[in-house]
Amino acid sequence: MSDYWSEAAHEALIEIGVSATPAEIEIVAGIMESNHENYGMAHGHDAIPNPLIAEMDRKVAAVEKDAKENITLLQAELDLSKSQTAYWKAQYTDILSNPIRRSDR
């Protein structure tokens, strides 16, 4: 047990005018510490969702969805660009390998 709870128990007992032995102070401090650990559950803090966290989760999900959509669009553009590049490379290679003769003009 931390000194914090022992000191808090000791100060509380002094405030109400109760004298206690160090062992009794430790017992009271232990009870206070245990009650503090259960405070969130007793008052619903652990069970009730925090609206700020829920809002942030929604915003993060929206940003992730937009990012995935953008990645899909960019991938489609890249694929199109690659296929166009391959097409024009093939055309250029074909032109270089089969030059037009002056007599064909």
Average confidence score pLDDT of the chain: 87
Domain assignment of residue 58, given as a range: 49-105
Token pair of 7 as six digits: 């000191």
Domain total in the chain: 2
Q: Could you tell me if 2 and 28 lie in one domain?
A: yes
Q: Could you tell me if 25 and 71 lie in one domain?
A: no
pLDDT digits (tens, 9 = 90+) for 89-98: 888 887 777 7
pLDDT digits (tens, 9 = 90+) for 18-49: 999 999 999 999 999 998 888 877 777 766 77
Q: Could you tell me if 70 and 99 lie in one domain?
A: yes
Q: Could you tell me if 38 and 53 lie in one domain?
A: no
Per-residue DSSP letters for 46-100? TTSPPHHHHHHHHHHHHHHHHHHHHHHHHHHHHHHHHHHHHHHHHHHHHHHHSPP
Q: What is the pLDDT of residue 58?
A: 95
Q: How confident is the model at residue 1 (pLDDT cuts 50, 70, 90)?
A: low
How many Å apart are CA 61 and CA 66, to the nearest integer? 9
Q: Could you tell me if 101 and 58 lie in one domain?
A: yes
Q: Could you tell me if 44 and 56 lie in one domain?
A: no
Q: Is the model more confident about 63 or about 38?
A: 63
- The percent of residues in the chain predicted with pLDDT above 90, rounded, is 59
Q: Could you tell me if 78 and 43 lie in one domain?
A: no
